[in-house]
């Protein structure tokens, strides 16, 4: 679906959708309980449906799991399935089969699992999906080592799986933990379901200013149902409306709120609540031309909308420690660079980040969504800054995490039509 947006400020109140990160974790924990647990999720999306469908398949003797395009589903369920089954096959579509699984895969192989790209399935079980790996051999406990700066999803998958094993286990991080909020969210969910994990901390001998994490996990634990749980509001997608509020207020030269995103918990472990401090920094320096530096190591998902926010101020903004974005649904450093450039902005792509030379406005133009939900939604919000229409190619990619995005965009006064 290609759409054309007419630039205009947004105004109104919108309820936040359920946090995809929180909902994934609640669904998985609930599925591992012997007793029933009701999980309340206000808004499903393609990634959550992938997890839901895979969890239903885990009851099979040799499950065949289609993770579609959901990296969370694959990275969480890879160790969980191998803790529960002697064989499981993992399929994916879009860019997911190309996205890395190292060093998680190697750690699983060091603890009893074998992975091949061959399968005894004689026909493709899912339209558009390809085999990623077939795993055989039951996962065994022991000492696991992972870097903390590659993917917090690897850590979360092991934290879910290792309590199920007979043996005790430990996870030692060999470098600084990035996206630590996602790991905290995992630990909170595990505690809610009766799983006990001890955290330990030490100084990195190579960099004394860095703290290294380790996790000690007793085996033979059981997930205990709390009865019912509710996924909290999503800061990752709420960030689009928070930035829309800032951009709409700027365009109307008012300090009054234009857009309010409701039901967001400011005490949440979700790291993307940092969008509030980023918006505050931009408001305070909008006309000063002071250089701003945003460290994205804890909040990589915010980078596309942060780049749009940076374009709304006059001056240079640098986004650093964002190299992991190259292995997302798209190479997000390249596609964010293309997004801002296509709309007339001044942006430079670096190996690990971006530099935006903001002027306070954008021209408009055509943006390729690159099948990436965050690029599509960022382009829609960027239209507020534009003087000419914005055309988005492949706008349906927003369905991956936020199927109602353009419905809510319209509710707030946004105007678009399908080309």
Question: What is the per-residue pLDDT across 315-359, written as a single tens digit (0 to 9) for each?
Answer: 999 999 999 899 889 999 999 999 999 999 999 999 999 999 999
On whether 272 is known to bind a ligand per the annotation, the reply is: no
CA–CA dist 293, 1 (Å, integer): 35
Q: Are 328 and 372 contacting, i.e. CB atoms less than 8 angstroms apart?
A: yes
Containing 23, the helix (H) or strand (E) segment is helix 20-31
- Residue among 269, 313, 248 at smallest CA distance from 287: 313
Residues 180 and 255 both lie in one domain = no
On whether 280 is known to bind a ligand per the annotation, the reply is: no
On whether 328 is known to bind a ligand per the annotation, the reply is: yes
Q: Are 359 and 314 contacting, i.e. CB atoms less than 8 angstroms apart?
A: yes
On whether 207 is known to bind a ligand per the annotation, the reply is: no
On whether 313 is known to bind a ligand per the annotation, the reply is: no
Q: Tell me whether residue 301 is one of the annotated catalytic residues.
A: yes
Phi then psi dihedrals of residue 167, to 5 deg: -85, 155
Residues 244 and 203 both lie in one domain = no
Helix and strand numbers (H, E) in the chain are 12, 20
Phi then psi dihedrals of residue 166, to 5 deg: -70, -40
Q: What range defines the domain where residue 376 resides?
A: 3-17+233-418
Q: Is the pLDDT at 183 greater than 70, yes or no?
A: yes
Q: What is the pLDDT of residue 39?
A: 98
Q: Is the pLDDT at 40 greater than 90, yes or no?
A: yes
Residue 154 banded pLDDT, cuts 50, 70, 90: very high
Residues 56 and 177 both lie in one domain = yes
Query: Which residues have C-beta within 8 Å of that of residue 254, sequence separation ≥ 6?
Result: none
Query: Which residues have C-beta within 8 Å of that of residue 140, sequence separation ≥ 6?
Result: 111, 112, 165, 167
Q: Is the pLDDT at 254 greater than 70, yes or no?
A: no
**CA 49 to chain CA mean position, Å:** 15
On whether 301 is known to bind a ligand per the annotation, the reply is: yes
Boundary (domain end) residue, out of 168, 195, 230:
230
Instruction: Determine the average pLDDT of the residues in 34-60.
Output: 95
CA–CA dist 298, 306 (Å, integer): 13
Residue 250 banded pLDDT, cuts 50, 70, 90: confident
On whether 179 is known to bind a ligand per the annotation, the reply is: yes
Domain total in the chain: 2
Residues 249 and 376 both lie in one domain = yes
User: Which one-letter DSSP state was computed for residue 102?
Assistant: T
From 43, 66, 234, 301, active-site residue: 301
Q: Are 224 and 213 contacting, i.e. CB atoms less than 8 angstroms apart?
A: no
Residues 152 and 253 both lie in one domain = no
Residues 244 and 150 both lie in one domain = no
Residue 27 banded pLDDT, cuts 50, 70, 90: very high
Residues 309 and 394 both lie in one domain = yes
Query: Which residues have C-beta within 8 Å of that of residue 123, sequence separation ≥ 6?
Result: none
Q: Are 378 and 307 contacting, i.e. CB atoms less than 8 angstroms apart?
A: yes
Residue 363 three-state SS: coil
Residue 252 banded pLDDT, cuts 50, 70, 90: low
Weakest-pLDDT range from 95-109, 180-194, 241-255, 297-311: 241-255
For 37-141, list the strands marked E by DSSP: 38-40, 64-66, 87-92, 114-116, 130-136
Residues 219 and 289 both lie in one domain = no
Q: What is the pLDDT of residue 127?
A: 79
pLDDT in tens, 61-108: 999 999 999 999 999 999 999 999 999 999 999 999 999 899 999 999
Q: Is the pLDDT at 33 greater than 70, yes or no?
A: yes
Q: What is the pLDDT of residue 202?
A: 78
Residue 249 banded pLDDT, cuts 50, 70, 90: confident
Q: Are 295 and 320 contacting, i.e. CB atoms less than 8 angstroms apart?
A: yes
Residues 43 and 115 both lie in one domain = yes
Residues 35 and 115 both lie in one domain = yes
On whether 249 is known to bind a ligand per the annotation, the reply is: no
Q: Highest-confidence range of 110-124, 246-260, 289-303, by mean pLDDT?
A: 289-303
DSSP states along 403-418 = TTHHHHHHHTT-EEEE
Residues 177 and 323 both lie in one domain = no
On whether 214 is known to bind a ligand per the annotation, the reply is: no
Q: Is the pLDDT at 15 greater than 80, yes or no?
A: yes
CA–CA dist 395, 381 (Å, integer): 13
Boundary (domain end) residue, out of 188, 211, 230:
230
Residue 124 banded pLDDT, cuts 50, 70, 90: low
Boundary (domain end) residue, out of 230, 260, 289:
230
CA–CA dist 12, 369 (Å, integer): 26
Residues 266 and 364 both lie in one domain = yes
Q: Is the pLDDT at 288 greater than 90, yes or no?
A: no
**What's the CATH code of the domain at 267?**
3.65.10.10
Residue 419 three-state SS: coil
């Amino acid at each position: 679906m290609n759409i054309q947006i007419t630039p205009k400020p947004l105004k109104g109140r919108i309820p936040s959708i359920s946090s995809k990160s929180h909902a994934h974790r609640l669904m998985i924990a609930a599925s591992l309980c012997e007793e029933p647990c009701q999980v309340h999720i206000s808004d499903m999306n393609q990634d959550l449906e992938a997890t839901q469908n895979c969890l239903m398949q885990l009851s099979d003797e040799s499950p065949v799991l289609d993770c579609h395009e959901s990296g969370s589903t694959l990275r969480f369920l890879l160790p969980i399935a191998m803790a529960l089954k002697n064989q499981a096959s993992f399929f994916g579509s879009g860019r997911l089969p190309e996205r890395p699984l190292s060093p998680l895969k190697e750690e699983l192989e060091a603890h009893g699992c074998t992975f091949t790209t061959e399968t005894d399935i004689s026909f493709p079980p899912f339209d558009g999906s390809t085999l990623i790996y077939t795993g055989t051999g039951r996962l065994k406990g022991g000492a696991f080592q992972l870097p903390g700066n590659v993917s917090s999803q690897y850590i979360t998958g092991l934290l879910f799986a290792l309590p199920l094993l007979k043996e005790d286990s430990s996870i030692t991080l060999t470098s600084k933990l990035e996206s630590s909020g996602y790991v905290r969210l995992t630990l909170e969910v595990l505690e809610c379901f009766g799983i006990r994990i001890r955290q330990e901390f030490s100084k990195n001998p190579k960099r004394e200013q860095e703290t290294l994490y380790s996790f000690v996990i007793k085996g033979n634990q059981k997930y205990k149902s709390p009865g019912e749980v509710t996924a909290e509001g999503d800061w990752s997608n709420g960030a689009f409306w928070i930035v829309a509020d800032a951009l709409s207020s700027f365009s109307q030269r008012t300090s009054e709120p234009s857009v309010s995103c409701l039901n967001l918990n400011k005490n949440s472990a979700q790291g993307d609540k940092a969008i509030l401090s980023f918006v505050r920094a931009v408001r305070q320096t909008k006309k000063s031309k002071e250089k701003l530096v945003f460290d994205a190591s804890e909040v990589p998902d915010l980078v596309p909308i942060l780049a749009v926010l940076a374009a709304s101020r006059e001056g240079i903004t640098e986004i650093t420690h964002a190299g992991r974005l190259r292995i997302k649904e798209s190479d997000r450093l390249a596609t964010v660079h293309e997004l801002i450039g296509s709309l007339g902005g001044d942006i430079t792509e670096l190996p690990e980040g971006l530099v935006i030379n903001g002027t306070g406005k954008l021209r408009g133009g055509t943006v390729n969504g690159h099948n990436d939900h965050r690029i599509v939604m960022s382009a829609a919000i960027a239209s507020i800054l534009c003087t000419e229409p914005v055309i988005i190619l492949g706008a349906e990619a927003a369905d991956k995490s936020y199927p109602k995005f353009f419905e809510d965009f319209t509710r707030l006064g946004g105007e678009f039509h399908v080309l």
